[in-house]
Amino acid sequence: MADKSIREARTPDAARDAAPEESVSALPGDGISRRKLLGTAGATGLALGAAGGAVGYAAAPSTATPLSSIGSNRVMFHVKHQPGITEGLQARGHLVAFDLTAGAGRKEAAALLRRWSATAERLMAGEAAASDDTDVARDAGPSSLTITFGFGHSFFSRTCLEKQRPVSLDPLPDFSSDQLDKARSNGDLWVQIGADDALVAFHALRAIQKDAGGAARIRWQMNGFNRTPGATAQPMTARNLMGQLDGTRNPKPTETDFDKRIFVPSSGSNDPAWMANGSYAVVRRIRMLLDDWEKLPLKDQENVIGRRKSDGAPLSGGTETTAMDLEKTDAQGNYVVPGNAHARISRPDQNGGAAILRRPFSYHDGFDANGVPDAGLLFVCWQADPLRGFVTIQRKLDRGDALSKYIRHEASGLFAVPGGAAQGEYVGQRLLEG
């Protein structure tokens, strides 16, 4: 749970709250169809197609009168980098891994990714699935839906594409805080679904599962949530289930080295060509030991993190975005930000410049027989190189992070997420047909 922020103008709850909403009256018999309304959704959405700058990718829809709620927000499918990486945090999320079925290989995988990509494009536009739609999302707009696809280490042997497997996809090392359930880890294929409406997210999950048909079966699936956009008086960094602001120091796309840290370059990389403009997702189910955490006095909680709980400001003073003074001491000569504080240890300047883009969901899966909550973080982080990103930071945390006592890593996965599909392409086409 490294300490960062997604963007100054697009903090987890901020991006879609920045502009005032317009409204439209869509009354029965007014001649305005749902599809026509949805076609105007880009006016307040997070469409990123134009930002990609690559020929063949879709631009944002032209400005028009939008729907009258956050349901109007639309993210484009055909973009330079797959959707679901740089967008603000959504209110609902599903993470799901699939394994190819016995006898399914490269040909079946290509057909599956073609189906999935077509479905993702339709659903992200607020349209129904091409066939056998469940009507779960009827009456809803796109609701910032994103669907993201990735490949696990085992996918390449299943499809006889071992020579195209990136070295960066080598299995993650073991860490002392790991208590991993293998049945809920890894997988041939990974899908991330996020939306600002629970029914829209579930509708996408169901459609993706049905599209898998006989080619793939679900290996594991996890459900998450974040604060709903607009739930706070002003845009702000999200809080996790420990009550801490979580995401203050995420690298920002405005930083000159952002792409270098997060995305595989289109040339001059050791990665295979099909990974150009892609990224690597590390996925961890991190259980928070909330009963133990909540027994700590506020001062002790803040010392564990290194930031004030109320506003996320560093213990060395200032506001949330004030640079942390690691050398500041109190009257007794002790560091104001403790040496083992999570925010100190996870800083890029304490890890050779290593940085990751965190984009998590919280989760709560009920209680055990003793009433202990099974809750925590569905940690998803993005980087151009997992060894220089997540692994570097986690190794440092593993050696003395004060937060480690209150969390447990229970599932893990590493997935290669190729760049976005251009118009007329499906995700992964350059790998599967190259």
Q: Which residue has tokens 């996809």?
A: 169
Angle between helix 198-212 and 106-124 (nearest 10): 160
pLDDT at 379: 98
Whole-model pTM: value is: 0.85
* Whether 246 is catalytic: yes
Give the DSSP letter of residue 176. T
Rounded mean pLDDT of 219-233? 94
**Would the pLDDT of 328 be above 80?**
yes
Tokens representing residue 10 in the block: 């697009």
- Where are the alpha helices (H) located in 244-365, listed in sequence order? 258-262, 290-295, 298-305, 342-345
Give the DSSP letter of residue 335. B
CB 152 within 8 A of CB 189: yes
pLDDT at 348: 86
Helix (H) or strand (E) holding 412: strand 407-417
Rounded-to-integer distance, Cα 109 and Cα 120, Å: 16
Tokens representing residue 251 in the block: 């690298």
pLDDT band at 184 (very low <50, low <70, confident <90, very high): very high
Per DSSP (E only), the strands in 58-188 are 92-100, 146-151
Q: What is the pLDDT of residues 149-158, one digit of tens each?
A: 999 999 999 9
Secondary structure tally for the chain: helices H, strands E: 11, 9
Rounded mean pLDDT of 167-196? 96
Tokens representing residue 394 in the block: 């986690």
**Would the pLDDT of 51 be above 60?**
no
C-alpha dihedral, 335 to 340 to 344 to 350, nearest 10°: 110
Which of the two residues, 235 and 205, has the higher pLDDT score?
A: 205
Q: What is the DSSP string of 343-401?
A: HHHT-GGGTTT---EE--EEEEEEE-TT--EEEEEEEEEEES-TIIIIIHHHHHHHTT-
Rounded-to-integer distance, Cα 231 and Cα 245, Å: 15
Q: How far is CA 115 from CA 110, 144, 210, 213, in A?
A: 9, 21, 10, 10
Q: What is the pLDDT of residues 245-279, one digit of tens each?
A: 999 989 999 999 999 999 999 988 899 999 999 99
SS3 category, 10: coil
Of the chain, the percentage scoring pLDDT greater than 90 comes to 77
pLDDT band at 104 (very low <50, low <70, confident <90, very high): very high
Q: What is the pLDDT of residues 185-199, one digit of tens each?
A: 999 999 999 999 999
Rounded-to-integer distance, Cα 149 and Cα 428, Å: 9
First vs last C-alpha separation in the chain: 37
pLDDT at 57: 62
Return the closest-CA partner of residue 342 out of 318, 315, 319: 315
Which are the contacts of 31, defined by CB distance < 8 A and separation ≥ 6?
none
Rounded-to-integer distance, Cα 147 and Cα 124, Å: 8
The active-site residue out of 211, 246, 271, 385 is: 246
